[in-house]
Structure 1
C-alpha cells in the first residue's frame, strides 16, 4: 500500500510513499524501546546538547524547510518560515528550562523528607495533523525527548515529506537512533500500535472524531493520553473596544493558515453599538486578501490543504445560508485551479445554526450580534468546544471578569489566541484534555513519583 502527497495549489502529485511493512514497523518499535532504556539514563544536560543543535539546524535551514511545508500542505511561505522559527524556539526553550520544570519538589509532611520527582514513561506515539506539520510535532517532540522519552510519529497522510524530514533533522542533530522515528502507516495500524505494551502513552492533535477513537482505545489499554481536538473559539468585542485593533486581530486570527487553525477566532460576538463598524472593518480587510501561489510573497490567502476539506467547508457555509445566515462577502468557491475558498463573512448567525455549533476550518467568519456581555458569555459557552477565547475591551478589569467566566483552556485579552512555549496549552470539554507546552507539557508523560523518607 502507498500514500500520495499532492500540492494543494496545483493539485499535482508530488511523490508517492510506501507504507511500512509489519517487519519494518516491528523493528522501529524495538529500536524505540531499546533507545529509551539508554536515552532515559542520560542527564538533562546531556539531552540538551542535541536539542540545542536541532534548534540551530531549524534556524539555519528555515527557508528550505518552509518550502517543503508550502509545497506539501499549501501554507503561505512567510507563515511556513514563522512556523519553523517557532519550532526552533520550542527546542531552545526546553533545552534551557527542562531542568527546572523537572526538578524534584520537596513537600513538607511528617516524614523526615518527602518529595516528588518526574521520571520518563517510555516510547510514546504521537498522532499529528497536517495544518501545522512541523509545529504540532515539535511541541510534542521537544518536551518529551528532554523528559527522556522516545517518540514514534504517525503524521497525517498528506504530509509524509514533512514527517520524514523531521526525523532526518533529529538524526542530524545528534540524537541517538530511535529517539524519534517517522512511521508511514495508516490509522488502522496506528490503533494497533496503541495496543502494543511497548507504547506507554499517546498524544494526538486532530478532530473530535479521532480524539474519541484514540482516547477510548488508550483508556481501554490503560495508556496515558493527551488530546487536542480543535475548537470554535469566541472573539468577544465589547462596546468600549478599540475597533481598529480588534478588526486587524480578527482577520489575522481567522484567515491565518487559510483559516485552518484550531485556535483561530471563529465566532465573533459583537455588542450593538460597535457591530456595524466592526463588520464593515472585517469586510474592508477581508476583501483585500489575495489568493494565489502560496510561495509568492504577494499572496495573502493560501489554498486549503485538500480538495475534500474545501468542499466540506463550502457545504457547511451553504447549510448556514439555508438556516438563515446572511452572506456578506465570499461564501463561494472561486473559479480557478487550486483548493481555494474566498474569504467569507456570515452575519446574523445564532446558536441554532450549524455555523455556530460546528468548527469551520477555513477563512469563514461567523458574526453573532449580542445585547450584552452577559449574553456574549452565555452564547460563547453554549458550545461543546472549549479551547481558546479572546476578549476585546479597554476596561481590563471588566475583560478579566469576562475571561474568568469563559469555558476555555486559555483566554486572551486584547490579543488573539496563540500558543506560547512557557504556557500550558490545551482545551476542555470536547476540545480535549491534558496540556502541552510549559512545565505542565513536559510533565504530562512522566511518572510523577512520590519519595518518602522516614
Structure 2
C-alpha cells in the first residue's frame, strides 16, 4: 500500500494499491509501442503536446498547487509558482525544440553530411517529492519533444501528485500509452531499469539512491542523467552589498522549507564583514512566518516527513556539540505535524557535520573565511558540486573566481535557480548529465552522424 500523509498534521490523506507486475508489464509494452509511432511524428507537430501540457497545468493550477501543499508541505504561494514554472518550461521547449533538434550540417570535401538528433526510446523517470511537478516537467518537456516516451516512478509520499501528472498528460493530448505513472515500491525499480523496453534513466534524488540507480543502469548499459544532492556555498566577499546579500541569502536557504538540492546551505563569509552579515541575516530570518502552509502569508511550513525532521535535528545537535554557535531555532516545534524552525548556526568549521553533510531542511551554516581565496577553498571542500553563489561589487573579480569553483552553476550576486534557458546539473557526487537548455534536450537523443560522400553530394 502507498499512503500520502499530510506533513502539517501527520494524518493520512489517501492510500493506494501499488501496481502489480502485470500492470507494469502492460505499461512498458504500451509505452514502447507508442514511442515507435511518436518518433516518426515531426518535431514541429510533437511540440503541440507541450503546448497542451502548459495549458492543462495553468487551467488546474489552483488544484495542483493545493495538492502539492497537502502532500509535501510546500507553502501554497510557492506551490502555485511551481506549477507556473512547469507551464513556462513547456512553452519554452514548444518554441525552441525545433531549432535545438534540427540537423546540423557538417561540410568538408564537398560533402553535405549532418549530425542528426534521434530519440532514444522510453525513459524511466525516477522523481523526488520536493518539487513533485517541476522535477518531472523539467525532464518531460524536452524528452517528449525529442520523440521519447516516459514511465514515471514518483516518490511514494506524493502519489496524488504522481497520478495528477498522468491526468495532465492525458488532457494535453498525449498519445495513448506514451506516458504512464506507476505506483510501485522501490524494490521494483531494478527490474524496470533492466527491461529491454527501457532505453534510459533519469533520476533526481539523493546521492545514495543515485549510486544505486547508476549501478543498475550501468549494468544494463543504459544512459543516465543523475541530479543528486548538494551543499551549495553562498560566498559573501568583503565588498558585497551586505543588506542585499543577506536578504537573498535567507530566501536562498529557506525557500521550500530548505528542502532543495540547490538551496544555499553553507554561507561562507569573509571575516571582516561576518558579524554584520550574521546580524542582517538573523534579522531577515526573524521575519519568516511559520504556520499552516495553506495560508498565503506562511513562509515556513512543515518538513515533508518525520524521519527527515529527526535526521536534520541530529545534524544540528552534532554541529552545536562540536562548537558551533546556535543563533536561532535548533529544536523541533511541539504539536502536530513535522515542523522545524528556521535555524542559524554560526562559527561552523569544515570538520563539523553541518559543513560536511547536506542539510536538507531549514538550517543555515555560517562559515568564516580569511579572504576570497580561503572562501573558494572552503566552498570546494565538499563532496558535492551542484550550485554556488558569489556576492561582490567587483563583478569581474567574481567572474574570475567563479572559474575556480567546483560546481555545475555559479550565480554572481544572485541565488541559484533552475531556468529552461540554461543547462542545469552538477559534478562530483552531485551527479552528471544536464537538464534544461539545448544541452538538456540532447541528453536523451542519439547524436547520429549521417555522412554523405562527395560523389553522392554532387548529384
Q: What band does the TM-score fall into relative to the shorter chain?
A: over 0.9
CA shift at 1:338, angstroms? 1.2
Equivalent positions of 1:71-110 (< 5 A) are 71-110=70-109
Separation in 2 of the partners of 1:111 and 1:74?
61
Equivalent residue, structure 1, for 2:282:
283
Query: What are structure 1's unaligned runs of at least 5 residues?
Result: none
Secondary structure, counterpart of 2:90 in structure 1: helix
Equivalent residue, structure 2, for 1:126:
125
Separation in 2 of the partners of 1:238 and 1:420?
26
Note the alpha carbon deviations across 1:64-107, whole angstroms, 9 max, x for none: 11011011111000000000000001110111110111111112
Equivalent residue, structure 2, for 1:353:
352
Note the alpha carbon deviations across 1:168-199, whole angstroms, 9 max, x for none: 11001111112221010111111110010110
The answer to whether the 8 A contact 2:138-2:436 is kept is: yes
CA shift at 1:111, angstroms? 5.8
CA shift at 1:50, angstroms? 2.2
Equivalent residue, structure 1, for 2:332:
333
Secondary structure, counterpart of 1:342 in structure 2: coil
Determine if the alignment matches structure 1 residue 224 to structure 2 residue 223. yes
Change (3 A) 1:191 1:63: same
The answer to whether the 8 A contact 2:32-2:178 is kept is: no
Separation in 2 of the partners of 1:345 and 1:111?
65
The answer to whether the 8 A contact 2:7-2:304 is kept is: yes
Secondary structure, counterpart of 1:144 in structure 2: helix
The answer to whether the 8 A contact 1:87-1:135 is kept is: yes
Equivalent residue, structure 2, for 1:199:
198
Equivalent residue, structure 2, for 1:382:
381
The answer to whether the 8 A contact 1:76-1:295 is kept is: yes
CA shift at 1:269, angstroms? 0.6
Separation in 1 of the partners of 2:110 and 2:71?
57
Secondary structure, counterpart of 2:418 in structure 1: coil
Equivalent positions of 1:186-265 (< 5 A) are 186-265=185-264
Equivalent residue, structure 2, for 1:409:
408
Determine if the alignment matches structure 1 residue 146 to structure 2 residue 145. yes
CA shift at 1:259, angstroms? 0.2
TM-score by length of 1: 0.99
Determine if the alignment matches structure 1 residue 443 to structure 2 residue 450. no
Separation in 2 of the partners of 1:447 and 1:299?
46
Equivalent residue, structure 1, for 2:457:
none
CA shift at 1:226, angstroms? 0.3
CA shift at 1:300, angstroms? 1.3
Equivalent positions of 1:177-192 (< 5 A) are 177-192=176-191
Equivalent residue, structure 2, for 1:45:
44
Separation in 2 of the partners of 1:198 and 1:300?
43
Determine if the alignment matches structure 1 residue 368 to structure 2 residue 367. yes
The answer to whether the 8 A contact 1:111-1:452 is kept is: no
Separation in 2 of the partners of 1:22 and 1:180?
17
CA shift at 1:108, angstroms? 3.2
The answer to whether the 8 A contact 1:268-1:365 is kept is: yes
The answer to whether the 8 A contact 2:232-2:385 is kept is: yes
TM-score by length of 2: 0.98
Determine if the alignment matches structure 1 residue 394 to structure 2 residue 393. yes
The answer to whether the 8 A contact 2:126-2:153 is kept is: yes
Separation in 2 of the partners of 1:52 and 1:7?
32
CA shift at 1:216, angstroms? 1.1
Note the alpha carbon deviations across 1:370-394, whole angstroms, 9 max, x for none: 1100000011111110000000001
Separation in 2 of the partners of 1:22 and 1:199?
16
CA shift at 1:112, angstroms? 1.3
Note the alpha carbon deviations across 1:268-290, whole angstroms, 9 max, x for none: 01012211111011111112211
Equivalent residue, structure 2, for 1:307:
306
Separation in 2 of the partners of 1:339 and 1:378?
36
Over the aligned positions, Cα root-mean-square deviation in angstroms equals 0.8
Determine if the alignment matches structure 1 residue 7 to structure 2 residue 6. yes
The answer to whether the 8 A contact 1:111-1:453 is kept is: no
Note the alpha carbon deviations across 1:331-378, whole angstroms, 9 max, x for none: 111122211111101111111111111000011000110110000001
The answer to whether the 8 A contact 2:391-2:398 is kept is: yes
